Amino acid sequence: MDIIDKNLLMLLQEDTKKTTKELSLKLNLSVTAVYERIKKLEREGVIEKYVALLNRNKIEKGFVVFCHIKLLQHSKDFLTKFESEVVKLDEVLECFHVSGDYDYILKVCVKNMEAYREFMVTKLTNLNHIGSTHSTFMIGQVKNSTAFVL
């Protein structure tokens, strides 16, 4: 990956709706060269997919909770089973297997506290192998970025 690819990726992270013509003008390349570079980056898996980023408040998912999970055991079976179940929960946007006092941290987005309680009671606590949970509620967002600096 050369400096042109890196600049192209930075531009695409800002706005993927830019046309190849707009990108070509910013990069001082032909439209065809930009198109071919994008296709190469897609083939190589550098660009995984294109998505629309939604405003969670406008879709009634503005209540953000970081839920720390401790499993009963750390066996491969327990980890695999928990992971296969948690990925099916629509309210969970992100799940990280972490070191430290807890085994997993989930980012959960729901409408409000009542919706979170319902999620905990009917879905999360019904998953197998959970020993304990600890919830931390977001007060405000200081930084939220999807862009990597290259």
Residue-by-residue DSSP string for 45-62? TSS----PPP-TTTTT--
CA dihedral 116, 119, 121, 127 (to 10 degrees): -140
In DSSP terms, which residues pair with 46 in a beta bridge?
Answer: none
Sequence-ordered list of residues with C-beta below 8 angstroms from that of 136, at least 6 positions apart, any chain = 65, 66, 67, 68
pLDDT band at 128 (very low <50, low <70, confident <90, very high): confident
- Strands 63-71 and 104-110 turn out to be antiparallel
What does the block give as tokens for 53? Answer: 């980023």
Q: What is the pLDDT of residues 28-73, one digit of tens each?
A: 999 999 999 999 999 999 999 999 999 999 999 999 999 999 999 9
Q: Taking the CA atoms of 72, 78, 84 and 87 in sequence, report the sign of the dihedral they define.
A: positive
Query: How would DSSP label each residue in 60-119?
Result: T--EEEEEEEEES---HHHHHHHHHHHTT-TTEEEEEE--SS-SEEEEEEESSHHHHHHH
Prediction pTM value:
0.89
